[in-house]
Amino acid sequence: MGSLTEKVAVVTGASRGIGRGIALALADEGTTVYVTGRTVEPGSHPLPGTVGETAAEVDRRGGRGIAVQVDHGDDDQVAALFEQVRREQGRLDILVNNAFSLPEDLTEPNPFWEKPLSNWEMVDVGVRSNFVAAWHAARLMVPQRQGLIVAISGFVGVTYTYGVVFGTCKSAVDRMSRDMAVELKPHNVASVSLWQGLTFTERAQRNLARDPAMKAQTVTNPAIGCSPEFPGRVIAALSADPRIMARSGGTFITAELADEYGVTDVDGRSIPSMRAQRGAPIWSPV
């Protein structure tokens, strides 16, 4: 029996990458996980992974996986998702806002005026999408006086990484999480933002293979990387923490929280914090 067998979670953008890893880590603790994403047909995306495949693996890992095709840029689809959760479960305990519209040229060194205006889509699915999902989640969590909303962010919130829009999005996500916590505090619902460093997602591994020079950069040095399941292990520990409200409103470095909770990566490693090299969070708990 896992520590979260009675919990219901929504993990957005979980066809692959960090979202998939979080869903699987929650599955290890027995969580019912709604796995959302746009990819339902194998081979329809350049990278492997579908919502159905993630949900099936959640089942195999001891949780209950429920795949839901959702474009998080479509408010009607998001509303339908949370109505499905309400109808089927009658509650929601964890929302992980992970969906993010990463452009293919994200890691290219070109300045913002040489990249397409369509890169602004990161704001639509990456900032606005977080707010919309949290809006729906709060309507389930507030009446039950319990819940955790997690935003997946990164050091880019305070230090230049890859580009203007990317940094703008992550800074906004951190502040949004903090201000949500202010308004959710009277209702015993927590909101936090987690800073990830290099995570060995399918995309990251592809990029490192294409451009070996990335391995010499601080941001993409494989020596400090973690598995996609690592943040999920920390989120599971947060959700099981009876004092979670003491952290609400804060932005936390995932590796530092892991040390506090005694969490390691899937291979038993302790992941180093990059605070000294990349910067410190701005927002403390409210």
- pTM reported for the whole predicted model: 0.95
Q: Which residues pair with 264 in a beta bridge?
A: none
From first to last of its 286 residues, what are the pLDDT tens digits of the chain? 588 999 999 999 999 999 999 999 999 999 999 999 999 999 888 888 999 999 999 999 999 999 999 999 999 999 999 999 999 999 999 999 999 998 989 888 899 999 999 999 999 999 999 999 999 999 999 999 999 999 999 999 999 999 999 999 999 999 999 999 999 999 999 999 999 998 988 887 887 777 787 776 767 777 789 999 999 999 999 999 999 999 999 999 999 999 999 999 999 999 999 999 999 999 999 9
Show Cβ contacts of residue 201 under 8 Å, excluding neighbours closer than 6 positions. 16, 17, 18, 21, 228
Structure tokens, 240? 């099981």
Q: What is the pLDDT at residue 45?
A: 86
Buried-state track 41-67, b at ≥16 Cβ within 10 A, e below 16? eeeebeeebbbbbbbebbeebebbbbb
Q: Decide if 145 contacts 187 (C-beta within 8 A).
A: yes
Give the pairing of strands 147-154 and 94-97: parallel
Provide the residue ranges of all domains of the chain, joining segments of one domain with +: 8-195+226-278
Residue with tokens 């409200």: 245
| Domain 8-195+226-278 CATH superfamily | NAD(P)-binding Rossmann-like Domain (3.40.50.720)
CA distance 245 to 21: 25
Structure tokens, 129? 């999408």
Q: What is the pLDDT at residue 205?
A: 80
Q: What is the pLDDT at residue 150?
A: 98
Q: Is 185 exposed, middle or buried (0-12, 13-18, 19+ CB in 10 A)?
A: middle
CA distance 205 to 91: 36
DSSP for 220-242, please give it: T-GGG-B-TTHHHHHHHHHHH-T
Q: What is the CA radius of gyration of the chain?
A: 17
Q: Decide if 282 contacts 174 (C-beta within 8 A).
A: yes
Helix H or strand E segment including 123:
helix 121-123
Q: Decide if 188 contacts 145 (C-beta within 8 A).
A: yes
- What does the DSSP 8-state code read for residue 217? S
